[in-house]
Structure 1
Amino acid sequence: MPDIIITEFMDEEAIRQGLAGFDVLYDPKLADRRGELIETVADARALIVRNRTQVRERLLSAAPKLTVVGRLGVGLDNIDVEACKARNVAVFPATGANDVSVAEYVITTAMLLLRNAYGATAAVAQGFWPRSDLIGREISGKRLGLVGFGAIAKETAKRAAALGMTIAAYDPYVPPTSPAWDQPWGRAEPLPLDALIETSDVISLHVPLTVETRNLMDAAMLARMRPNAILINAARGGIVDENALAEALRAGRLGGAALDVFEEEPLSSSRGAVFEGCPRLVLTPHIAGVTQESNTRVSWLTVENVRRHLERA
């Protein structure tokens, strides 16, 4: 039986070179076959996952030799960290390896939704000339409101500042007097959450899914947003009330939204039907942090963490 089981996609060169000498099972679809996964982990010492593999009590009980979990990303809501700790199973997220990819996704999506010019290809090719319908807005001079001010939010802010945006952020874990608000690109203004929501042109979420953040952006909070403001969630599904967002978009109360993460993943067609008829909406399949470059960085960092742990064990 394999020493290391990899249940979701990663850079294959990192597997070949970085895990040479170990017995590795690489099956990027194994996360979808949970029963088979449970049967496979009996002798595994290491497990490498992304966000779909649920590392919880049932799986941990089936893997008595497991000593380490490598997470191809940073979110840990699919991993029962306390249960791992109780079993002396180390958990290594790939901290920092996909920060740039997520930051670029947020800025790109914000510009796309503000400018409103890029959905006319078919119409223009058919001889229409809808210029007056496509007059959008510049990103320069707008306020970016960041909910959470961690590493990814700071990377996003750096790019936004370079484009002429002003930056504000809410983070209850960063005191107003912290030097973190002063960055090489300028200063982020610390604000209470309500003030941030009410005054920002683009709101980007950068918080984990917790009891406190679940449905943080509910109908009441969405109603506080400016009528033409943009909401972007590339953090975790469940932070935005999807029904309330769809209703706000259809009612024309928002300038647009982008969701890269969903309460149900993969998003089923029945659940996705809630977004039918929503204007100015971008939906992507949890891909904000995954580029060719970040996949390489994340994979190598995870391989190095797992290999180092196994060699020390």
Structure 2
Amino acid sequence: MPDIVISEFMDEEAVRQGLSGFDVLYDPGLVDQPARLIGLVAAARALVVRNRTQVRGALLDAAGRLRVVGRLGVGLDNIDVDACKARKIAVLPASGANDLSVAEYVICTAMMLLRRAYGATSSVAEGAWPRSALIGREAFGKVLGLVGFGAIAQRTAQIAVGLGMRVAAHDPFAPESVFAEQRVERRELSELFAVADVVSLHVPLTADTRGLINAEALTRMRIGAILINAARGGVVDEAAVVAALRVGKLGGAALDVFAQEPMDSAQGSAFADVPGLILTPHIAGVTEESNTRVSWTTVDNVKKALST
């Protein structure tokens, strides 16, 4: 039986080199085989996951030797942290390793949705010339509103300031000094919604943030505002966002995370033919470079935990 079980994808070189000397089972397909995963975890000392593997309930009950859960990323809502703590299982996220990738995703999708020009390839190739329909907006001078102002949001703010955007943020837990250092305006949430041309979410999924962006919140945003969610799916009422896009209240939205991942066909059909919408499969924090950083950070975390 393996000593370390890895149930989702990571950099294979980090597995081969970083975990040499350990008995490792690396099978990204395990995330879709929960019964098999439970059987394998029964004898393992370490489990490495991304965001889809549910580390709770029957899996933890079976994990009699488990000492560490290495998280290939930072969100922990798929892990029962309290249950792990009670069992003296260390939960170690790869903090900071994918900050830049998420920040670039936010800026990239914001500029795509502001400019509105990037869905015209097929029509131009067919001989159409829809210039007037594709006149968009510049990022320069626009207000980026960040809901949450942790490390990823701060990295996003740095890029946005470099583009000439104004940045405002809401975070009741961040110290005032952080806002001053980053040249970011501190705003109450209602104020942020009122002034932001682009709203980007950077909060964990908690009882307080679940459904934070609902129909009522959307009415408080500026007409034509852009919404970006690369945080957690449950923070956003997806049906309300679709409705706001269809009537033109929102000027665009990029959703990288969803209440259910992956979606089934019935859920996916709700997004069909919605104007100004970008959907991506929870990939904002995953680039070639960040996958390498996240994987090696996780390898180091797991090795240290097993050596103590």
- How far apart in 1 are the matches of 2:283 and 2:214? 24
What are the residue-to-residue correspondences of 1:248-263 with 2, within 5 Å? 248-263=244-259
Q: CA deviation at 1:273?
A: 1.5
Q: For the Cα contact (< 8 Å) 1:46–1:69, is it kept in 2?
A: yes
Are 2:141 and 1:141 equivalent residues in the alignment? Answer: yes
**Counterpart of 1:154 in 2: which secondary structure?**
helix
Q: CA deviation at 1:198?
A: 1.3
- Which amino acid in structure 2 is aligned with residue 179 of structure 1? S
Per-residue Cα deviation, 1:220-274 (whole angstroms, up to 9, x for no partner): 0011111110000000011010011111111111110000000000121111122
What are the residue-to-residue correspondences of 1:189-204 with 2, within 5 Å? 189-204=185-200
Q: For the Cα contact (< 8 Å) 1:250–1:277, is it kept in 2?
A: no
Q: For the Cα contact (< 8 Å) 1:114–1:138, is it kept in 2?
A: yes
- Which amino acid in structure 1 is aligned with residue 285 of structure 2? G
> What's 1:155 paired with?
155
- How far apart in 1 are the matches of 2:263 and 2:190? 30
> What's 1:63 paired with?
63
TM-score (norm 2): 0.99
- How far apart in 2 are the matches of 1:216 and 1:275? 20
Q: CA deviation at 1:130?
A: 0.7
Q: For the Cα contact (< 8 Å) 1:203–1:231, is it kept in 2?
A: yes
> What's 1:94 paired with?
94
- How far apart in 2 are the matches of 1:118 and 1:15? 38
Per-residue Cα deviation, 1:85-137 (whole angstroms, up to 9, x for no partner): 00000010000000000000000000000001111111111111111111000
What are the residue-to-residue correspondences of 1:124-135 with 2, within 5 Å? 124-135=124-135
Are 2:38 and 1:38 equivalent residues in the alignment? Answer: yes
**Counterpart of 1:216 in 2: which secondary structure?**
coil
**Counterpart of 1:48 in 2: which secondary structure?**
strand
Are 2:269 and 1:273 equivalent residues in the alignment? Answer: yes
Per-residue Cα deviation, 1:49-108 (whole angstroms, up to 9, x for no partner): 000000002111101000000000000000000000000000100000000000000000
Q: CA deviation at 1:9?
A: 0.2
Which ranges in structure 1 are unaligned for 5 or more consecutive residues?
none
- Aligned pair count reads 308
Q: For the Cα contact (< 8 Å) 1:47–1:69, is it kept in 2?
A: yes
- How far apart in 2 are the matches of 1:89 and 1:156? 33
What are the residue-to-residue correspondences of 1:82-231 with 2, within 5 Å? 82-175=82-175, 178-183=176-181, 186-231=182-227
- Which amino acid in structure 2 is aligned with residue 128 of structure 1? A
- Which amino acid in structure 2 is aligned with residue 48 of structure 1? V
> What's 1:310 paired with?
306
Q: Which runs of 4+ in 1 moved over 2 A?
A: none
Q: CA deviation at 1:294?
A: 0.1
TM-score (norm 1): 0.97
**Counterpart of 1:182 in 2: which secondary structure?**
helix
- The counterpart of 2:294, out of the listed 295, 298, 302, is 298
Q: For the Cα contact (< 8 Å) 1:227–1:255, is it kept in 2?
A: yes
Which stretch shifts more, 2-11 or 55-64? 55-64
**Counterpart of 2:164 in 1: which secondary structure?**
coil
Q: For the Cα contact (< 8 Å) 2:8–2:50, is it kept in 1?
A: yes
**Counterpart of 1:277 in 2: which secondary structure?**
coil
Which ranges in structure 2 are unaligned for 5 or more consecutive residues?
none
- How far apart in 2 are the matches of 1:294 and 1:228? 32
- How far apart in 1 are the matches of 2:57 and 2:126? 57
Are 2:69 and 1:73 equivalent residues in the alignment? Answer: no
